[in-house]
Amino acid sequence: MCGIVGYVGSKNAQDFLISGLKRLEYRGYDSAGIVTLAEDGTATLLRAKGKISNLEEKLAKNKRNDKIGIGHTRWATHGEPSEKNAHPHQAGEIYLVHNGIIENYKELKQQLKEHEFKSETDSEVLAALINSFYKDGKHPLINAVVQALKLAKGTYGIAVVSKLSPDEIVVARSGSPLVIGVGHGETMIASDASALLGHTKQAIYLNDGEVAMIKKDSVEIKTLNAEPVSAKVEEIETNLSAIQKGGYDHFLLKEIMEQPESLNETLRGRVNTEDGTVRLGGPGLTENQLRQIKHLIIVGCGTAYHAGLLASYYIEKITPEITIEPVIASEYRYRQSYIPEDSVALIVSQSGETADTLACLREIKKQGVTTIGIVNAIGSTIAREVDGGTYVHVGPEISVASTKAFTSQVIAMVMFGMTIAQAKGVRTSVLRPYVDEIAKLPEVIRETLESVHEKVKDVAGKYASYEHGIYLGRDTAYPTAMEGALKLKEISYVDANAYAFGELKHGPLALIDDRFFEFALLPKGELYDKAISNVQEVLARGGHVIAVTNEKKFDLPVDDVINLTAESEIFAPILMNLVSQLFAYYMTVAKGYDVDQPRNLAKSVTVE
């Protein structure tokens, strides 16, 4: 989604803004822009459609040594991707960058007759509205911003500068993140702390309903109702190396390959193989509260939803007297669901900023239900608003396609289920295999990634010309198939869908022909033989099957077999998902598409 950066200090603002915007590229964007102000207020506004490199071409002819400025990467919502719709937007003496959506922009626009609109954006309306209260500097900028925001409905993270006060940036947020980086004699802003790395480790996370006036050596925060807020300075935990490719061609491959380490971070201090228990401090629920849980709602979008769905299969196998309802946030937020007593909601999100997931969290909290975050991004909005939570600690995920977060989200949720089971008195003999398998999973993941890598690369090369894929699985392999199909479609643009094997004959079997391949996930276990019968049905109709299995005796005449040699009885689907991740990666490389920033998508979906 859109990204914001800003700088005020003694260094070259253009340099900071461009490098900051590059750090935010991963979020997805279609145009970019910056404005800087000289000491006398002269503004240099540069905007370009497309990649930041296009903006840099303009910059090369417009180098300035200004010490203050704001910048933006835009992901189009209102108006096509174009230079005129790119931010910053100007109105009178002010410039504004905006993340989010102003819902009542049409209504507001009607009242702003004096401003000549140049773009089709809701953001320019907000700029014009602020300017209407600013009255060419007759009121302090921050007051004009506050007056305008009181009339704006919707979501925003904004930064505003004025030619008439070229030593200050005014920022505000409601529903769209904003971080203030505190340096020595310089202050920075960003919509994502990764843009601040290498400049400062000290950050202030603005809360919804807060506005701040930022100068090079001061930050003053207040609420929209003019109540002063004392700034809480926090340490940014991420390191610069975590947001670099580290020798890999793409962030996606790096993130797939670092899953042994990232899962280890999720497990650190939480698994006790000696007594066969797991312990999660973050949720903050007492044994008694855990014992009482009868209903678990799991909320997420995209991959986070798939993680919740997969975890629900595991949790219901080990936790008695519990019903689990995994839900898609964008649907659930508008449903009239009845939430029974003794419910707990798990709110799953890598970024911790997904608008639909956040909206569900707020709705669920209103109903008095305890909310537990399964979040990666530290200090994110969801992490701060849940009642308790478990960070998955996988480090920054830069590639738009989520990979390492999925693996850790599933395991974190299974561990949460295990803490409920422990409290409900489930026998150690039931839980022990889970504890042991979780503890060894990082190593098993490492072995799997090494042993299947070349084979998956070959198979993906073979199917690179296909445009249709069907992912199939049963039981825990079904949500895994859903996740595999999502991964493939979002980066390789192959039309991939997932079905439960048992559903094939209810419709999808009609699709089988030479245009399609079938990616069959076949873990050993209770339903293996039934899944094999389904594969036979596909083969009998001329399907092109790629089988992924850990059954050594597998001998069907499929087109390709990817064997898992590293053993995990319980978590074989997690290992199969590694195969799906690599397969999607190599299909995309073979097709020549942008692996890390697929078209039309954004990493953090902060609009509805």
* Footprint of ligand M6R (CB under 6 A): 301-304, 349-351, 354, 357, 400-402, 486, 490, 601, 604-605
C-alpha 196/C-alpha 193 separation (Å) is: 5
Cβ proximity to ligand M6R: between 162 and 409 the closer is: 409
Cβ proximity to ligand M6R: between 208 and 356 the closer is: 356
Q: How far is the CB of 263 from ligand M6R (least distance, A)?
A: 17
- Catalytic residue among 67, 404, 487, 603, which? 603
- Catalytic residue among 2, 22, 360, 487, which? 2
Contact 605, 75 (CB under 8 A): no
Q: How far is the CB of 429 from ligand M6R (least distance, A)?
A: 35
Cβ proximity to ligand M6R: between 473 and 543 the closer is: 473
Q: How far is the CB of 402 from ligand M6R (least distance, A)?
A: 4
Q: Is 2 a catalytic residue?
A: yes
Q: In what helix (H) or strand (E) does residue 390 lie, and over which residues does it extend?
A: strand 388-391
Spatial CB neighbours of 543, under 8 Å, sequence gap ≥ 6: 512, 516, 517, 518
Beta strands 31-37 and 43-49 are: antiparallel
Write the DSSP string, 403-452: -HHHHHHHHHHHHHHHHHHHHTT--HHHHHHHHHHHHHHHHHHHHHHHHH
CB-based closest residue to ligand M6R:
302
For residue 246, what are the CA distances in angstroms to 109, 249, 424? 47, 9, 45
Cβ proximity to ligand M6R: between 183 and 302 the closer is: 302
Q: How far is the CB of 549 from ligand M6R (least distance, A)?
A: 25
Beta strands 516-522 and 468-473 are: parallel
- Structure tokens that stand for 593 in this block: 């598409």
Cβ proximity to ligand M6R: between 28 and 573 the closer is: 28
C-alpha 156/C-alpha 49 separation (Å) is: 22
C-alpha 462: how far from its chain's center? 31
Contact 369, 339 (CB under 8 A): yes
Q: How far is the CB of 359 from ligand M6R (least distance, A)?
A: 12
C-alpha 143/C-alpha 344 separation (Å) is: 42
Q: How far is the CB of 121 from ligand M6R (least distance, A)?
A: 23
Cβ proximity to ligand M6R: between 162 and 580 the closer is: 580
Residue pointed to by tokens 């071409």: 57
Backbone angles phi, psi at 114, to 5 degrees: -75, -20
Q: Which residues, listed in sequence order, are joined to residue 54 by a DSSP beta bridge?
A: none
Q: How far is the CB of 346 from ligand M6R (least distance, A)?
A: 13
Q: Is 360 a catalytic residue?
A: no
Q: Any idea of the CA torsion for 389, 395, 400, 405, to the nearest 10 degrees?
A: -50
Cβ proximity to ligand M6R: between 123 and 381 the closer is: 381
Q: How far is the CB of 382 from ligand M6R (least distance, A)?
A: 8
Q: At 537, which amino acid appears?
A: E
Cβ proximity to ligand M6R: between 351 and 588 the closer is: 351
C-alpha 82/C-alpha 50 separation (Å) is: 8
Neighbours of 289 (CB within 10 A): 15
Residue pointed to by tokens 């276990």: 525
Which of these, 383, 438, 449, lies nearest to 412 by C-alpha position?
Answer: 438
Q: Could you give the 3-state DSSP secondary structure of residue 472? A: strand
Q: Could you give the 3-state DSSP secondary structure of residue 14? A: helix
C-alpha 428/C-alpha 278 separation (Å) is: 11
Backbone angles phi, psi at 388, to 5 degrees: -160, 175
Q: How far is the CB of 606 from ligand M6R (least distance, A)?
A: 9
Backbone angles phi, psi at 116, to 5 degrees: -90, 105
Cβ proximity to ligand M6R: between 32 and 401 the closer is: 401
- Structure tokens that stand for 209 in this block: 């309903």
- Structure tokens that stand for 357 in this block: 């997931």
**What positions carry a catalytic annotation?**
2, 603
